[in-house]
Structure 1
Amino acid sequence: MSMDEFYNRFKMKARDNVLLWAVIVVMILFAGITERFGIASTRPFSLNEIPISYPYIANEKYSDKLLLFVCFLVPLAVTTALIFSDGKSREFQRFYKTISSFTFAMGLAVFITTFLKIRLAKLRPDFLARCGAKLKKGDLETVMFTVDICTAPYGEFVLNDGFKSCPSGHSTVSMCGMLFLSLWLYYTYAREHTNGIVKILCFTPLLVALDVVTSRIYDFKHDYYDVTLGSVIGIAATLVAVQFVHLEELKEEQELILPPEAADSTHINLKVTDGSSEVFFKIKKVTQLKRLMEAFCKRQGRQPNSLRFLYEGQRVEPEDTPESLEMEEGDVIEAHREQVGGSI
């Protein structure tokens, strides 16, 4: 498959799922803008609070760029490389399901996390170091102070970020990315494997997530509650994406690609051939020919006008096929790709 054909198929699939991609874009944009420019709610604090008196560490173990690389780009690269090199069929369909479900999971995770950061306004363990409080005469008897006494020795952005401790964004992103990669490896290669060690190895990426999570504590950026809530959000977002995006599309595809013996009393098997392979569709007995052709086009990621369908020796078009035309067991439909000079 050429890059142009690959791009066109991806673009067409994205148009079919325009609502999903619109939600993904909105969530990621909200998270990015809020994280960079959002001002958290402020709250009074005491200069004697030990939980917010830790030193400020500028060189944290996992910077934002390193986190993005390890927990977002690496899972994308690994899954993409395996999809196009493991010899399994339907590379494009697998790639599209993986990309759409993973970006949805990450978008949902960071959306929830950044929203809660702004609303909760929990102080980071190193907040007083970020604040650099400067007291005036008469302040010695004051118990609670506001941000007005802060000199922001590390800059206003760092000071404002000191009010965004909970939930931990690093914990959210790392757990989301590594759990998704682990589940993808499990469902793709180990779900039906008889060796339990293979199944366990699929979840080794979670060790990376645990390293990221614990680093936020000893870098004095979060406490245990922050990283716990962040991890829970990342896990929940991943499970939602896997259940309602990835597995639902996988289930839909598997219902269309079944062996002949899979028929039952309420379904029939229909065969579509493209000249080199046969695809068995399991559909309800009341399903019309029109619906079958549309389902085949959707599965192939093609526009209906790019395929030529032959039914009982006659060419049929999905848009011109009457709704009343139903199928019978054993019917064969031929699907040919249209191109200049003929069909293939």
Structure 2
Amino acid sequence: MPRNGLSRQAQSGVSGALARFYQRSFPAVDYLALGCIVAGWVLIQLFVTPFHRLFSLDNKAIQYPFAVVERVPVVWSIIYAAAIPLGILLLWTVVFRPNRYKLQVTILGFLIALMLTSLLTDIIKNAVGRPRPDLISRCIPKKGTSGNALVAWTVCNQTNQHILQEGWRSFPSGHSSFSFSGLGYLSFFLSGQMHVFKPRADLCRCLVALVPFLCALMIAISRLDDYRHDVYDVTCGSILGTLVSYFSYRRYYPSLRSMTCDTPYDREATASSEGFYKIPSDEEQQMQEPGVGSQRWGSEAEVYQLAETSFPRER
């Protein structure tokens, strides 16, 4: 029963109509939005080139060698940050057999985290156009190019356009943001399922929840070892991936400190007469659970006994 005493059927007006439409279509709307994100990412890959920031040949920050063999290639980053976490989520499904709705929103949140991070990363990369630490090795500048003057990308003799254009996509690190989005989402999910923030939670489950974050950190560090990015690129990419993964996770699951953090929001409770997307707070969820009120406040005898023992006796 809503707090204002009105049933859900009594909702009227534009707000009530939108709420009922959202309940019937959820999460179909999110699938449509995910499709738009994927389409936008594909268009960027096909048609967008980065902004070519001017550079100087005597800039030591971009004179590092070009690593032909990367420690974590793009394909393996997809395997580590997307395929393996997805496999773990599917294995969790086989073992614990959650209901269809929980499985649906869990996988949907994971996919949204990956694709939204990829889209935002590529938008920023192309807009900023920051040179990579190995830009000069990629560029192969023409002979006679001035070493102490700012020059444009047209001085480059590099014939491979992919290698050349990637030289201006340094900020932020795509490997870092992608790894922290996929593995970060997995870490948040494991934390919620194991209640790692409940009082007196054992250390073992906390360490298990931190393993995906550690793996994402190692992928990010590999970009420094390959001279593909500097610390600034990797740090900002990691923060971006973590924020997007947390945003995507919290759209479907309560706070990790909630007593019901292992259960996604009920889609029937996502709309109320007070707003289009009104989700009850963690305290409201706990108060609405049967039996919680009596356990929290206690019987009259317990309250009386507490009043008796709360104050020291006069001597």
Which among 172, 177, 181 is matched to residue 182 of structure 2?
177
Give the deviation of 1:250 after TM superposition: 1.1
Aligned pair count? Answer: 247
Note the 1:131-150 alignment, pairs <5 A: 131-136=139-144, 139-140=145-146, 143-150=149-156
Mark the runs of 5 or more structure 2 residues left unpaired by the alignment. 1-22, 256-262, 270-284, 295-315
Q: CA deviation at 1:15?
A: 5.5
SS at the partner of 1:59? coil
Residue 33 (structure 1) shift: 3.5
Q: What amino acid sits opposite 1:237 in the alignment?
A: V
In the alignment, the residues of structure 2 paired with residue 194 and residue 51 of structure 1 have an alpha-carbon distance, to the nearest angstrom, of 46
* Whole-angstrom CA distance in 1 between matches of 2:24 and 2:140: 49
Does the residue aligned with 1:204 lie in a helix, a strand or coil? helix
How far apart, CA to CA, are the structure 1 residues paired with 2:147 and 2:91?
63
**Which residue in 1 is equivalent to 2:95?**
85
Match of 1:219 in 2: 226
- Cα pair distance change 1:40/1:259, threshold 3 Å: closer
Seq. identity, %: 22
CA distance in 1, matches of 2:155, 2:139: 8
Q: Secondary structure at the match of 2:158?
A: coil
The offset of 1:262, in angstroms, is: 5.9
Q: Please say if residues 57 and 148 of structure 2, whose CA atoms lie closer than 8 Å, have aligned partners that are also in contact.
A: no
Letter in 1 for 2:40: F
Q: Are the counterparts in 2 of residues 190 and 202 from structure 1 also a CA contact under 8 Å? A: no
Which residue identity does 1:44 align to in structure 2?
Answer: L
Match of 1:270 in 2: none
Preserved CA contact (<8 Å) 1:109 1:233? yes
Deviation at 1:225, TM superposition (A): 0.6
TM-score after normalising by structure 1: 0.66
Shift of 1:263: 8.5
Displacement of 1:95: 1.3
Q: Which residue of 2 aligns with 1:235?
A: 242
Counterpart residue identity of residue 211, structure 2: T
Flag the structure with higher helix content.
2
Aligned to 1:250: 264
Q: Which amino acid aligns with 2:102?
A: R
**TM-score scaled by length of structure 2:** 0.71
Structure 1 residue matching 2:30: 3-state secondary structure = helix
Cα root mean square deviation, aligned:
2.7
Matches within 5 A, 1:255-334: 260-261=290-291
Which amino acid is the alignment partner of residue 190 of structure 1?
H
Asked if the contact 2:170–2:233 (Cα under 8 Å) also holds between the matched residues in 1, the reply is yes
The answer as to whether partners of 2:117 and 2:177 remain within 8 angstroms in 1 is: yes
**Hey, what's the Cα distance between the residues in 2 that align with 1:183 and 1:82?**
14
Q: Does 1:106 align with 2:106?
A: no
Q: Which residue of 1 aligns with 2:48?
A: 38
What CA distance in whole angstroms lies between the structure 2 residues aligned with 1:71 and 1:175? 8
The correspondence for 1:125, drawn from 122, 130, 133, is: 133
1:97 aligns with 2:111: no
CA 1:141–1:180: 2 relative to 1, 3 Å = closer
Counterpart-to-counterpart distance in 2, 1:254 and 1:197: 35
Give the Cα–Cα distance (whole angstroms) in 2 for the partners of residues 145 and 81 of structure 1. 53
Structure 1: stretches of 5+ with no match in the other structure: 1-12, 265-344
CA distance in 1, matches of 2:24, 2:77: 27
Q: Distance in 2 between matches of 1:215 and 1:245?
A: 32
| CA deviations over 1:24-63 (Å, ceiling 9, x no partner) | 1222332243245420011211110101101111210111
Corresponding residue for residue 269 of structure 1 = none
Instruction: State the Cα distance separating 1:23 from its structure 2 match.
Output: 1.8
Q: Is the 8 A contact 1:14 1:21 kept in 2?
A: no
- Partner Cα distance (2:147, 2:126) in 1: 30
Greater per-residue strand proportion: 1
* Contact 1:131–1:159 under 8 Å retained in 2: yes
Q: Which has the higher contact order (CA 8 A, sep 6+)?
A: 2
Q: Is 1:24 matched up with 2:34?
A: yes
Q: CA deviation at 1:198?
A: 1.6
8 Å Cα contact 2:224-2:231 kept in structure 1: yes
Provide Cα deviations, 1:102-157, integer angstroms capped at 9, x if missing partner.
11111221111110000000000000011000134xx448611111110115x111
Paired residue type of 1:168: S
Distance 1:140 1:174, change over 3 A: closer
Deviation (angstroms), 1:190: 3.5
